[in-house]
Amino acid sequence: MNLRSTQQIQSRTVKTLTLGQILGGFGLGSTLSIGALLAADLSGTAAWSGSAATFSTLGSAVWAIPLSRLAQRSGRKVALATGAALAIIGATLVITAASIRFFPLLLVALFLLGAGSAAGLQARFAATDLPSNKTAGRDLSVVVWATTLGAVIGPNLFGPGEVVGNALGMPALTGPFLFTILAQSSATAVFWFGLRPDPLLEAQRLDAAAGNKARPKLSFKGAIGTLQNFPVARYAMFSIALSHMVMVAVMSMTPVHMTTHGATLVLVGFTISLHIAGMYAFAPVFGWLSDKIGRLKTVVLGQAIYVVALGFAGLGSENHTTVAIGLFLLGLGWSASTVAGSALLATSLPADQKTNVQGVSDSMMSLAGALGGAVSGTVLAAFKFVGLNAAALIPVSAILILSALRYLQAKAEK
């Protein structure tokens, strides 16, 4: 296959992934907030409201690895469509759990919904399957950017979803999950019929044609072995995971901090919307930067933005405007680090090991986020918001140290 044909397939692949991400975002944009309300209602106590985020994040972490292995064996479209299908089952079980008022079933449903998030994370790597390393950052960032529409508009479908649910006689709070089913069904169709030829299978064919007959080791142990042999990929994975931990830890406690300091729910919602815009809307800018100045430098830029963001949010914790600026910058730092780190991971691995390691990376990313969210409440209670932001500088410092070591190693290898 000539270069022009590969570029045509890549262009069609990115367009398909972008559309699928938009649809998937609509379906998952409001599930966590509504899931928290349902968890409190069905369990009978607000203490279980956090279980929605816990089980959804855990599901994303657990499903990431088997979906990546499925992609390696059967192609991206099968894996992405399977992730969307599991989310559809999850949304259906949410409605069922509310109908029969059975809390454990709700937890299972939220765990299955996590597969939709895992598929969304995998989609960004699908944009880098074909050999186009020079534009890997740009292509990956466009798919990340597509999440903006669903992430911002999705939560606003709560009201219309309730109207539809009430008209159909559904249990309270379950109407929006009809939109989840419709959106994920549409995303499944887009992935299934749009990814032709399948980018990962095409990349494997090209790799085989080039004489690489190696059989991939589809296991966690195999992924760890690959990371030991490819230090750049190891650095990228840790950068992605730790950057995600910083973002989740601070973002998850911001509504709690602001409301206890007199902020209205409207102001809190506006602040989180600014944060989401920072996370996704500027992804193409950081994708372009990672291709132009280098992915490692863009990761470092992301950490520098984090330092400024944590300074604004922490030192200005008593001022709602300053906190909002800090949260916007926090989103920008996450975007730069995640886009550049993901592009670096995708371009630093051999074709036969990409999906195996990418699955482990996505799993580690979700688990790191869950850990950040889990400890952030304790840190906030003990050291207030300024202390939480100061503590978030620890993983930022770790990434900067790893970046310096990676730079020195690269320089020594020349």
Domains parsed from the chain with CATH numbers = 1-213 (1.20.1250.20), 219-414 (1.20.1250.20)
pTM: predicted TM-score of the whole model, two decimal places: 0.79
pLDDT (tens digit per residue) in 190-207? 999 999 888 888 888 887
Residue 3 binned pLDDT confidence (cut-offs 50, 70, 90): low
> How would DSSP label each residue in 296-362?
HHHHHHHHHHHHHHHHHHHHTTT-HHHHHHHHHHHHHHHHHHHHHHHHHHHHSS-GGGHHHHHHHHH
Query: How much is the average pLDDT of 256-285?
Result: 81
Sign of CA dihedral 86, 87, 92, 94: positive
Closest CA to 254 of 322, 332, 333, 157: 322
Return d(Cα 26, Cα 335) in angstroms, integer: 20
Give me the pLDDT at residue 404, please: 94
> Do 118 and 134 meet the contact criterion of CB atoms below 8 Å apart?
no
pLDDT (tens digit per residue) in 128-140? 888 666 677 778 8
Residue 101 binned pLDDT confidence (cut-offs 50, 70, 90): very high
Indicate the residue type of 21. Answer: Q
